Amino acid sequence: MTTQLIFEHSKRGRRGYRLPALDVPSAELTPSLMRDEVADEVEVSEVDVIRHFTRLSKLNVSIDAGLYPLGSCTMKHNPRLNEEIARTPGFALSHPLQPDRQVQGNLALLWHIERTLMEIFGLPRVTLQPVAGAHGELTGILMVHKALAKSGNARKYILIPDSAHGTNPASAAFAGYQIKELKSNSRGTVDIDTLAAAVTEDVAALMITVPNTLGVFETDIKRFADILHDKGAYLYCDGANLNSFVGIARPGDMGIDVIHSNLHKTFSTPHGGGGPGAGPVGVSEKLVPFLPTPTVEQAEDGTYYLDHGHPDSIGRVRAFNGNFNVLVRALTYMRSMGPDGLRRIAQIAVLNANYIRARLRGSYHLPYDAPSLHEVVFSDKLQTAKDVHTLDIAKRLMDYGFHPPTIYFPLIVAGALMIEPTESEPKEELDAFCDAMIAIAKECEERPELVRSAPHTTPVRRLDEARAARQPVLRWRK
């Protein structure tokens, strides 16, 4: 029953809605413009719908039910106050094309969150238009391209370490660049010499994640900036891991020219099963003229307005004003935390990750031993001997009631298990997780088949993913 599709609940004559009776004459269009009823659309009651989705929800795990240690995803507590504030009718019912004078509240809010991000980034301006990290990446690289083009040569390449997230090269390519991959060194970071050698005249920028996807901070970051700047290139920082150093250090102070922040990570806006998000981008002075238009400005008289007058702007990267109501949630969170709270986030997030690292290092192989910040990446090296692999360990964790970590990423670690607990987690929860991981390591020794055949207790067990891709069934048919 639970797994029936809503379409399979459909029964002739059922109804899930009511509208007021039509109070004007019913109008028609020429028949050729009007369709018949949407064939095969559902006929269900409100009861059917609520039952269906309530049951579906029970097939998901959630951050409110327990640790959700997806590395790089920063699955932290999503405060309910943010949801309440975002639903304030004055925000929820405001319209994106209203004249500035009618939406002074919204504009003030945008102005304040930009100021707050400017301070967090240590950068002079921030665009709030991008609605996700990848969208911010594209926006950032487009600005770099425009700036270089303006100074005569847009250049050809973006340098990206082999540890980077897939969106980095994808975004760079969409912005019109080719990618040159940088090999990581034994610490998992970028060697200053490797970089120096790679930064040729036709390199537009280095796109680097700080700390990187191993959670390791690029200690040479300032020197990276110097090398790039000397060659007229830019330093782009993927800020997905900002949670590890917010309030402790500022990208702008590291010589970073562009950074995006995933507000759905560091700033607690809920992931919603995949989105929405927001990916504001902060830029250094050199790039300010190229920010997407419009920008939010404050006039002498204290009123706010959208400024469309930026001749060098790359243009708008989305209709309307970005994911405004995600920004509302994020600003609510920033205010709830305050300066000390934001710093505390980084401190406890890093403490929690290193606690897990300390407790699990005996049981799992640590491919890169460099000190890590908010996340720790193990591998399945110790388990492969028994022919148990990362995927098996991940699935087995489900039987212990935990969502698995991110797996097989970063690509520079074979069989990666990428664990990010965030600052939200209480010690008891971390201990329960570590106990489970250690128990599984033991199972790998003693009962490998048990782990290989996991999960055993989930609503569905291991799926035939090959079949899904080989003979794609991407929609229901009657």
Ligand X SMILES: Cc1ncc(COP(=O)(O)O)c(C=O)c1O
Rank residues 61 and 149 by Cβ distance to its own copies and give the closer one: 61
Site for another protein in 194-253 (CB under 8 A): 211, 216-217, 219, 221-222, 245, 247-250, 253
Rank residues 379 and 424 by Cβ distance to its own copies and give the closer one: 424
Shortest distance, position 24 Cβ to another protein, whole Å: 4
Q: Give yes or no for a contact between 259 and 241, defined as CB atoms under 8 angstroms apart.
A: no
Site for another protein in 58-97 (CB under 8 A): 58-65, 68, 70, 73, 75-81, 83-97
Q: Which of 40, 64, 181, 449 binds its own copies (CB under 8 A)?
A: 64
Shortest distance, position 75 Cβ to its own copies, whole Å: 12
Shortest distance, position 476 Cβ to its own copies, whole Å: 17
Cα–Cα nearest to 130, from 278, 310, 348, 298: 278
Q: Which residue do the tokens 């090959």 mark? A: 466
Site for another protein in 392-421 (CB under 8 A): 394-395, 398, 403-404, 406, 409
Site for its own copies in 277-336 (CB under 8 A): 336
Rank residues 169 and 415 by Cβ distance to ligand X and give the closer one: 169
Bridge partners of 235, per DSSP, are 206
Shortest distance, position 256 Cβ to ligand X, whole Å: 15
Give the binding range for its own copies (CB under 8 A) out of 191-199, 203-211, 408-416, 420-428: 420-428
Cα–Cα nearest to 462, from 453, 471, 470: 453
Site for its own copies in 370-409 (CB under 8 A): 401
The tokens of 207 are what?
């796109």
Query: 291: Cβ–Cβ under 8 A, 6 or more apart, which residues?
Result: 125, 127, 143, 283, 310, 313, 314
Altogether, the residues listed in the chain come to a count of: 478
Q: Determine the Cα–Cα distance for residues 342 and 353; give it in Å rounded to an integer.
A: 17
Beta carbons within 10 angstroms of residue 194's beta carbon: 16
Contact between 302 and another protein (CB under 8 A)?
A: no
Read off the DSSP letter of residue 321: T
Shortest distance, position 77 Cβ to ligand X, whole Å: 18
Query: 352: Cβ–Cβ under 8 A, 6 or more apart, which residues?
Result: 421, 422, 423, 425, 430
Query: 203: Cβ–Cβ under 8 A, 6 or more apart, which residues?
Result: 155, 156, 157, 158, 159, 180, 228, 231, 233
Q: Which of 106, 139, 163, 209 binds ligand X (CB under 6 A)?
A: 209
Contact between 132 and ligand X (CB under 6 A)?
A: yes
